[in-house]
C-alpha cells in the first residue's frame, strides 16, 4: 500500500512539474486602475490556488471555533462530578434490555 501511495505522489509531482514547464510564457493580470502584473502563467495559477486555499481556511475558522467551544463544553460537562451513583444515569450496556451480541 505504501508503494502505491508513493507512486501516486510521484505521478502528481511529475504532472505538476510538466505543467510548470509547459506554461512558462508570460501572462498579464490586469487589476483595477490600470495596474498590471506580468508573470509566468504557472506562477499566476499557483498564486490563485494558494489564495483560494487561504480564503477557504479563513472561511472555516468560525466553524472550527464553534465546534471547539462545543467540545470543551461537552467534556467539562462529562468530567463534572455528579451526585448520583456511578452508572445509575445510564442503563447497563449488557442489561436485560440489551443482551450481548454474538460473533463480535
- What pLDDT score was predicted for residue 75? 85
Supply the pTM of this predicted model. Answer: 0.54
For residue 37, is it within any domain? yes
**Domain extent for 57:** 14-75
Q: What is the secondary structure of 20-57 as a DSSP string?
A: HHH--SEEEEE-GGG-EEEEEHHHHHHHHHHHHHHHHH
pLDDT string in tens for the chain (104-residue length) = 889 999 999 999 999 888 888 888 899 989 899 899 899 988 888 899 999 999 999 999 999 999 999 888 888 888 766 555 555 555 555 555 655 666 65
Count of structural domains within the chain: 1
- What pLDDT score was predicted for residue 88? 53
Amino acid at each position: 500500500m505504501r508503494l502505491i501511495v508513493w507512486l501516486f505522489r510521484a505521478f502528481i509531482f511529475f504532472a505538476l512539474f510538466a505543467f510548470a514547464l509547459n506554461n512558462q510564457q508570460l501572462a498579464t493580470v490586469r487589476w483595477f486602475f490600470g495596474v498590471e502584473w506580468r508573470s509566468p502563467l504557472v506562477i499566476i495559477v499557483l498564486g490563485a490556488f494558494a489564495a483560494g486555499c487561504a480564503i477557504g481556511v479563513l472561511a472555516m475558522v468560525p466553524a472550527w471555533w464553534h465546534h471547539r467551544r462545543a467540545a470543551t463544553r461537552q467534556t467539562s460537562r462529562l468530567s463534572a462530578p455528579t451526585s448520583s451513583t456511578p452508572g445509575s444515569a445510564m442503563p447497563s450496556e449488557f442489561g436485560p434490555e440489551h443482551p450481548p451480541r454474538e460473533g463480535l
